[in-house]
């Protein structure tokens, strides 16, 4: 499953978290489905990069066990 980041204002029942001065907003139903997110960041060559991972992967993603290339 992939997630899109958009610039938006929170609406009723959204969850808002601050990370390094930025506010991340997630819809309540998506938060329940994912069981939360881990947000990490790093800087490289003057750019800030964010990695956002769900605590629980969606069942239809297959994951690493769905392929044979990992041994």
Considering its fold, how many domains does the chain have in total? 1
Q: How many other CB atoms are found less than 10 A from the CB of residue 21?
A: 5
Q: How many other CB atoms are found less than 10 A from the CB of residue 12?
A: 5
Instruction: Look at residue 1 and tell me if it is in a domain.
Output: no
Specify the pLDDT at position 45: 95
pTM: 0.56
Structure tokens that stand for 7 in this block: 């610039």
Instruction: Look at residue 68 and tell me if it is in a domain.
Output: no
Specify the pLDDT at position 46: 93
Per-residue model confidence as pLDDT tens digits over 32-53: 888 888 888 889 999 988 888 8
Stretch 52-65: mean pLDDT: 64
Range of the domain at 31: 15-57
Distances (CA, A) of 69 to 2, 41, 60: 22, 29, 19
Instruction: Look at residue 3 and tell me if it is in a domain.
Output: no
Query: Does residue 23 carry a pLDDT above 80?
Result: yes
Nearest to 57 by CA among 34, 28, 27, 39: 34
* Cβ proximity of 55 and 35 under 8 Å: yes
Query: Does residue 18 carry a pLDDT above 50?
Result: yes
């Amino acid at each position: 499953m992939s997630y899109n980041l958009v610039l938006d204002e929170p609406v009723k029942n959204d969850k808002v978290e601050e990370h390094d001065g930025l506010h991340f907003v997630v819809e309540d139903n998506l938060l329940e489905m994912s069981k939360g997110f881990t947000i990490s960041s790093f800087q490289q060559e003057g750019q800030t990069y964010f990695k956002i991972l769900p605590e629980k992967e969606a069942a239809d993603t297959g994951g690493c066990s769905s392929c044979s290339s990992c041994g």
